[in-house]
Amino acid sequence: MYRIGELSALYDIKADTLRFYEKHGLLSPSSRSDSGYRLYNQDDSERLKFILRAKAVGFSLNDIADLLSIEVDKSNRACAEVKGLVDTKLEQVEAKLAELQHFATSLKSLSNTCCGGPDSAEHCSILEALESSDQHIIAKKEQHHFSHSGHKD
């Protein structure tokens, strides 16, 4: 059992943020002490971890509430309805994943070509890296033109 200060310290957020999440239906402590202190258990902590993760990858608190609502009314809700919600979110997550992979590729190629690379300062720009990243793969393919195995990402 954590008190509000302990839980907030654990995730490096303010106690106020936890009260804010409670007020907005995202996370309520599973119990209270005799004197009214919030008491969070391990499940509450996991739920908070989920909220913070989802937030970090660009979901709004409303989005997150949607996702968490899947848990709240478990058996009440028709399974097909749940599946719809999940699949919608999954599409969003996969779109974000694609964006991020694109990003990561560009940043990596930028990091490599920028320092130590032969053309160093010439194209030190993320935008150029983003634009050239696809052609980069093609160019690489052309270099060892005796192999044409199925490419994998």
Is residue 115 a contact point for a second copy (CB under 8 A)?
A: yes
Q: Mask of contacts with DNA, 48-87, x by CB under 7 A?
A: -------x----xxx-------------------------
Q: Which is nearer to DNA, 56 or 138 (CB)?
A: 56
Is residue 134 a contact point for a second copy (CB under 8 A)?
A: no
Q: What is the DSSP string of 41-105?
A: -HHHHHHHHHHHHHHHTT--HHHHHHHHHHHHTGGGS-HHHHHHHHHHHHHHHHHHHHHHHHHHH
Percentage helix, strand, coil for the chain under 3-state DSSP, each rounded to 5: 70, 5, 25
Q: Contact positions toward a second copy, by CB under 8 A? A: 43, 46-47, 50, 53-58, 67-68, 70-71, 74-75, 77, 79-80, 82-83, 86-87, 89-90, 93-97, 99-104, 107-108, 110-111, 114-115, 120-121, 124-128, 130-131
